[in-house]
Amino acid sequence: MLIATFAATFAAWGQSATPQRSAITPPPPPANEREVFLVRQDQSDCTNTTVPGGDSPNVGGTLSLSRGSDGNTTVKLAMTVSPNTTYHFYLKCVRELGTITTGEEGTGFATFTFPTNSTGATYAFDMYPAGAPLGNKFQSATVNY
pLDDT tens figures, 77-107: 999 999 999 999 999 999 999 999 999 999 9
Length of the chain: 145
Q: Bigger pLDDT: 24 or 138?
A: 138
56 lies in which domain range?
31-144
Q: CATH code at 103?
A: 2.60.40.200
Indicate the number of domains in the chain: 1
Burial of 145 (0-12, 13-18, 19+ CB in 10 A): middle
22 inside domain: no
80 inside domain: yes
User: Are 102 and 61 contacting, i.e. CB atoms less than 8 angstroms apart?
Assistant: no
Q: List residues bridging with 107 in a β-sheet.
A: 80
pLDDT of residue 14: 53
DSSP string of 103-144? -TTSEEEEEEEEEGGGS-SEE-EEEEETT--TTS-EEEPPEE
In whole angstroms, how large is the CA radius of gyration of the chain?
24
pLDDT of residue 28: 76
90 inside domain: yes
